[in-house]
Amino acid sequence: MIARTYGTAEIQSGTPSPLKSRLSLAGKVALGLIACAVIMAPDTRQASAISQLEQWPAPLKGSAPLKDKIQQLTTRVAALENYIQAASDSKGGSCSLLGRDVCTTLKQIEDADRSARDAQQDGKPTVAEAIADLQNRVVAMEQYLQTGSSNESAPVTSMTLKDQVQDLQSRVGAIRKYLVDQAKQSGGSGTSRFLDMIKSQIGVPKFDEKMVGSFGEWAGTPGARLLDKGQATPAESREVVEALNGTSDAFSVHAGLLNDSECAALRASLDAEHARGTLAGEADLKLNITLKELEYIVGTAAADRLVAFCGGHFDTIIIRRCEPGGQIINFHKDDHLRTILIALVDDEQYEGGRLVFATRDGLRVPPRPAGTATVHTSAVVHGVTRHTAGVRYGLFFLQGMGGVGTLSDLGYDQDDSGATYVATNGTNGTMTEDKPSAVITGMDGLYRVDYDQLDADMVKLA
């Protein structure tokens, strides 16, 4: 058997856990529902568990080898145990995790992970033993969290090994969902800490550097000089567009896509990642996140709003935190059919770092209060001015070249020459300008960005 840091006996004895005693009424109701799901007949449980498993990144389902499923379950069970352990160790339950020394927490997780791996190598458990061990541990967690009844949730050994694994998957999913719900109830911050912990167990997907532009000196690249000057004549801007083979001036700007607290939640998650873990201290921190992770951070309403804004067309979500490095992002075209970039901090909170679009009519620098989205295609040339002070935060929704086939699928005109971003350019999806290269849907009406130099005012259209 695999040795664990705690077991059923230890959990049952001792003083009432802070986790239990701190449950709110809503928490108890949610817990009751989960408990029902957990002790249902296997078939029903399996069905209800499908939606629960969706909460978890990439669960192994169906035809995946049993061995792999067990391996994944082992990692997940360890992650949940560590989370519960850390939550109940700290004074006041899961929500107080934020107050803990993050390095200590991380070390505990790493130690537990290592000892579990060592134990596994020593013992070389059979498939049946590994499943039995997981069952014990899942029962222990269910009892601890009161998500299952102590008798009914005992391992059902008459099931085939395959069914036992499936059963475990659904129960592990239910426990995770319960913990996420708990974390959500205690405020957004507990949620992102939960994600931190899970991520440190399952690993943050490696970031593909080619996804977005990078800060550097970029001396001698087209328009680098103009980014420093902050302005250009239309002819100079056109030269940059042509040098980079830009074929469209059609970008659009949409204010108020996220509200202040949603932006703050994303910044807090980025700050948390920046303070700990393998990417601690990274000056230009870029993280791939899943839609579910985004949902945990900003809430379902905001996540739905973002997905609707994208028309469901995106395949990569990135959150980014940049320290001021005194560098530029050179003028470039993105390697994506479409990029939606949402500023997560007011542009007045940092110096330089302005997103600049090079059009054939001149440089355009839209004002970007926190929550403002810009939309552009792979044909639009853009760059970022020298970022000299204050931290910059952004959220990217990228639609890669391989997903939806063409720009017209995304609502652009066929040849991408003009600026027909029908879906979101105007109010109610109507076209409002024959050249809407920068139309802003503001809180109180429609604006057009109409200026030839940085920081000029917007013109109200309607």
Summarize as ranges the residues that interact with ligand AKG (CB under 6 A). Answer: 212-213, 329, 334, 341, 355, 382, 384, 394
* Distances 199 to 76, 110, 287, 289 between C-alpha atoms, Å: 10, 12, 11, 10
Smaller CB distance to ligand AKG: residue 59 or 394?
A: 394
Smaller CB distance to ligand AKG: residue 27 or 256?
A: 256
CB of 245 to ligand AKG, least distance (A): 16
CB of 134 to Fe ion, least distance (A): 45
State the Cα–Cα distance between residues 40 and 141, nearest whole angstrom: 17
Task: Write the CB contacts of 4 (distance below 8 Å, at least 6 apart in sequence).
Answer: 81, 116, 133, 137
User: Which H helix or E strand runs over 153?
Assistant: none
Burial class (CB in 10 A: 0-12, 13-18, 19+), 336: buried
Strand partners, 172: none
Smaller CB distance to Fe ion: residue 109 or 319?
A: 319
State the Cα–Cα distance between residues 141 and 55, nearest whole angstrom: 18
CB of 330 to ligand AKG, least distance (A): 10
The answer to whether residues 387 and 321 touch, using CB atoms and an 8 Å cutoff, is no
Residue 309: strand, helix, or coil: helix
CB of 7 to Fe ion, least distance (A): 52
Return left, alpha or beta for 362; rule: phi > 0 is left, psi -120 to 50 is alpha, else beta. Answer: left
CB of 332 to Fe ion, least distance (A): 6
Smaller CB distance to ligand AKG: residue 212 or 244?
A: 212
Q: Which does 355 bind (CB under 5 to 8 A by kind): ligand AKG, Fe ion, none?
A: ligand AKG
The answer to whether residues 329 and 383 touch, using CB atoms and an 8 Å cutoff, is yes
The answer to whether residues 285 and 279 touch, using CB atoms and an 8 Å cutoff, is yes
Long-range contacts of 282-285 (CB under 8 A, 24+ apart): 283/322, 283/323, 283/325, 284/214, 284/215, 284/320, 284/321, 284/322, 284/323, 284/325, 285/320, 285/321, 285/322
Q: Which does 142 bind (CB under 5 to 8 A by kind): Fe ion, ligand AKG, none?
A: none
State the Cα–Cα distance between residues 378 and 247, nearest whole angstrom: 9
CB of 390 to ligand AKG, least distance (A): 13
Strand partners, 398: 316, 339
Which residues lie near Fe ion (CB under 5 A)? 213, 334
Strand partners, 177: none
CB of 240 to Fe ion, least distance (A): 14
Smaller CB distance to Fe ion: residue 81 or 334?
A: 334
CB of 368 to ligand AKG, least distance (A): 8
Q: Beta-carbon neighbour count of residue 120 at 10 Å?
A: 16
